[in-house]
Amino acid sequence: MSSKPDVLAVAKLHPFYQTALASLYTVHDRTHVTDPDAFADLAPRIVGVAGTGEASVPSSLLSQLPNAKVVSVFGVGYDGVDVPAAIAHGIPVTHTPDVLTDDVADLAMGLVLSVGRAIPQADQFVRAGRWPAGPIALARKVSGARMGIVGLGRIGKAIAQRAKAFGMSIAYTARSEKPDSGFIFYPTAAALAAEVDFLVAITPGGAGTLHLINAEVLQALGPRGFLINVARASVVDETALIAALQNGTIAGAGLDVFANEPQVPEALWSLPNVVLTPHMASATTETRQAMADLAFANMQAGINGQPLRSPVPECIGMGAGSQGH
């Protein structure tokens, strides 16, 4: 048995988080999946669970961890964690909001510019030596265009700020209207899509937003409209999206998240009117370090029974130590 307390990593962790954890804990990398027999002996010793935004922490796993004191997610999204089950087991869940907001908003705007101005396609045009043979096709003006944001939370508001600087008009949908935002509210994604040129999805994933952007919404966005998804793949009906891109129902898409990532279907990567990034919206050195610091602080606090730095909203007030964020 190791002298350091045992922590279970339920996903491949970013090295910044992995290294910080390893300074105080013995980190078991997905033992519950790779070696279930060894995990049966290990499970009662696990005091903390380390995950990522996409990692699966089901009720069946939590029920095998009688001494777990915290689930610390490296990411703001935690749709893979069964939070009601964690609460039922008395295990608070934490995440890393705010520290990644700027980066995700930056990438959203990067995708808006990339799809609108066809920047990756232009790069290929030059590299392939096609410039001498003729001018590149005209692109879509971004400044002054109409931006629609699906989910006006921390990141949605940061995207709006950036879009304002581009002279874009801003409208949004969310669960509730935000009168103080000064932006136009539409009660549904379809109503919003009908009024905008760039529709940006930035809600949480999970059952509450499953296929919020479906064939009807894409139809409403129309043949001059672009979809940007920096939220979760589950928010968009990927089959309907591929059909809409193939038949010109919408003009194009910028996608950071995929249904079966890291696998991306050929139907998507073979299309000329999409820009694809590998779930990298928070992937800068600065932000990944800040996420690791916060996730590690939450892990330590949870294991030591101290106030949690950033519990998920459902877990605020759980245990003696939680203080919210």
Subset of 277-296 contacting ligand NAP (CB under 6 A): 279, 281-282
Question: 10 Å Cβ neighbour count for 45?
Answer: 18
Q: Min. distance of Cβ 197 from ligand NAP in angstroms?
A: 20
Subset of 61-80 contacting ligand 8YV (CB under 6 A): 74-77
Q: Report the partner that residue 147 touches, choosing among ligand NAP, ligand 8YV, none (CB closer than 5 to 8 A by kind).
A: none
Question: Does the annotation count 279 as an active-site position?
Answer: yes
Q: Min. distance of Cβ 76 from ligand 8YV in angstroms?
A: 4
CB contact set of 179 (below 8 Å; sequence gap of 6+): none
Question: Does the annotation count 261 as an active-site position?
Answer: yes
Subset of 99-118 contacting ligand 8YV (CB under 6 A): 100
Q: Report the partner that residue 31 touches, choosing among ligand 8YV, ligand NAP, none (CB closer than 5 to 8 A by kind).
A: none
Choose the binding region for ligand 8YV from 41-49, 51-59, 84-92, 180-188 (rule: CB under 6 A): 51-59
Q: Report the partner that residue 240 touches, choosing among ligand 8YV, ligand NAP, none (CB closer than 5 to 8 A by kind).
A: none
Nearest to 289 by CA among 1, 18, 28, 3: 18
Question: Does the annotation count 232 as an active-site position?
Answer: yes
CB 74 within 8 A of CB 96: yes
Residue 234 within binding range of ligand NAP, rule CB under 6 A = no
Q: Compute the distance between CA of residue 212 and CA of residue 193 in angstroms, rounded to an integer.
A: 12
Give SS3 for 162: helix
155 versus 303: smaller Cβ distance to ligand NAP: 155
CB contact set of 35 (below 8 Å; sequence gap of 6+): none
Distances in whole angstroms, Cα of residue 192 to Cα of each of 29, 176, 205, 217, 287: 43, 14, 19, 9, 31
Q: Compute the distance between CA of residue 104 and CA of residue 230 in angstroms, rounded to an integer.
A: 7
Residues known to be catalytic: 232, 261, 279
